[in-house]
Amino acid sequence: MRRKLAAGNWKMNGTSSALGELTSLANTYPAPSVEVLICPPATLLHRAAETVHSTHIEVGGQDCHANGSGAHTGDISAEMLVDAGATAVILGHSERREDHDEQNEDVRAKARAAMDAGLKAIICVGESLEQREAANTLDIIGGQMSGSIPELSTGENLIVAYEPIWAIGTGKVPTLDEIGEVHDFIRARLERRFGEGVGRSVRLLYGGSVKPGNAAEIFAVSNVDGALVGGASLKAQDFAGIIDALQNA
């Protein structure tokens, strides 16, 4: 059975005062039936890990470099994330692909580094509104998967997050049928590439304007194993509504 996952991506939000949200989350869920992961900005990662130490809340990074060390000013290696207390890292988010011109091969190299370091790689895929309207969604998703996911992937070290770019932070959400179509496609591609055993064990997350009010219906969709949540994960009370929906799915 795939353990469901509620992952929060704080993006470039949060200072020291935000750590109290993690304490609230840990107090609310002393023994959650689903996996709960928060990915704060790098400046908070070590303190976040200390805050949730001995709880069932995990923390992760928002990116990592493909190299283990070297002259890469401002970058963070996968080993550094592990040293800071991370168990996972988000890679290939559309904001990284757009803002930093990350290509599929860049994401693939980072994912290899993350997996080698013992991190779970949450690899993001998703189409733009123009691609959706041109009926190119599955071609785009397939290409991103082929180029971004490394061969050493397993159900333990790979998580795939489908985040339609046009739905991130906009309040717009694909129809349930559209979400289901993409998630079923991702599952089939994973099974074809890695075999049924691995393909069926990889968790698939949906991300893009997930909120407590729409989470339950999204989690009822085929092959949706959880969510990668942006703004609604910044406050423990908001994120709790999503976690509750996932626990009841």
Catalytic residue check, 95? no
Hey, what are 38's tokens?
A: 């928060």
In the set 21, 65, 163, 183, the catalytic residue is: 163
Q: Using the structure block, give the residue that is written with the tokens 């990116």.
A: 63
Catalytic residue check, 65? no
**Extended beta strands in 148-247, E state:** 158-162, 203-206, 226-229
In the set 93, 95, 102, 127, the catalytic residue is: 93
Do strands 120-125 and 88-91 pair parallel, antiparallel, or not at all (unpaired)? parallel
Do strands 35-39 and 158-162 pair parallel, antiparallel, or not at all (unpaired)? unpaired
- Name 89's bridge partners: 61, 121
The angle subtended at Cα 213 by Cα 211 and Cα 214, nearest 5°, is 75
- Name 206's bridge partners: 162, 227
The CB-side HSE value for 233 (13 A sphere, CA atoms) comes to: 26
Residues taking part in catalysis: 93, 163
